[in-house]
Structure 1
Amino acid sequence: MGIPSIKNEDQYEALREKGYSKEKAARIANTPNAGKKGGKAKPYEERTKKELYVQAKNIGISGRSKMNKGELITALRNN
């Protein structure tokens, strides 16, 4: 296997400068629409606890079953 490539190098570097880990910056910069403004997703506060739980499950946040809505929001923002 070779070295993983970064699809959006500028975005990756900007995220690293903001303090994101290499893994998180690469994950964000490698999304299909990296660097494009989205704004289509509802803010976490407008989502149901179930929606937040599913999001946390999709990205592998542990302990999510014991979290309340506020804790899920914090965990998602800090992942």
Structure 2
Amino acid sequence: MSPRKGPGPSVKDDDLYEKLRDEGNSKEKSARIANAAANTSRSSVGRKGGSHPSYDEWTKHDLLQRAREIGVEGRSRMSKDELIEALRDH
């Protein structure tokens, strides 16, 4: 059996997924963006959702809480800057 090519059947926009992966995004993030773009127009994907201050303006406590919610590993040993980077990369 040969290895499967492409992101798999759960990704709705293979081209966008591959472009995002080439840019260095995680598999999860690339799939999430590609599927959101496939469900709506690509230009509206970035405008979706609520608004909140930049992570730079959050307290370390709030960053830790958010990291816990999304399952960032090693968060308790991270500095504020490391938490921000981990949240942005997740």
Identify the TM-score tier after normalising by the shorter chain. Answer: 0.5 to 0.7
Does 37-46 or 24-33 show the bigger shift?
Answer: 24-33
Equivalent residues of 2:26, 2:89 under 8 A apart? no
The alignment partner of 1:35 has SS state of helix
Structure 1: which 5+ runs fail to align?
Answer: none
Superposed CA RMSD in Å reads 3.0
Structure 2: which 5+ runs fail to align?
Answer: 1-7
Question: Does 2:15 align with 1:4?
Answer: no
Return the index of the structure with the highest Cα Rg. Answer: 2
TM-score (norm 2): 0.59
Percent identical pairs in the alignment equals 47
Query: How many residues are aligned here?
Result: 76
What's the CA shift string for 1:38-74, capped at 9, x where partnerless? Answer: 5712111111112211221122111111222122112
CA separation in 1, counterparts of 2:60 and 2:68? 12
Equivalent residues of 1:29, 1:35 under 8 A apart? no
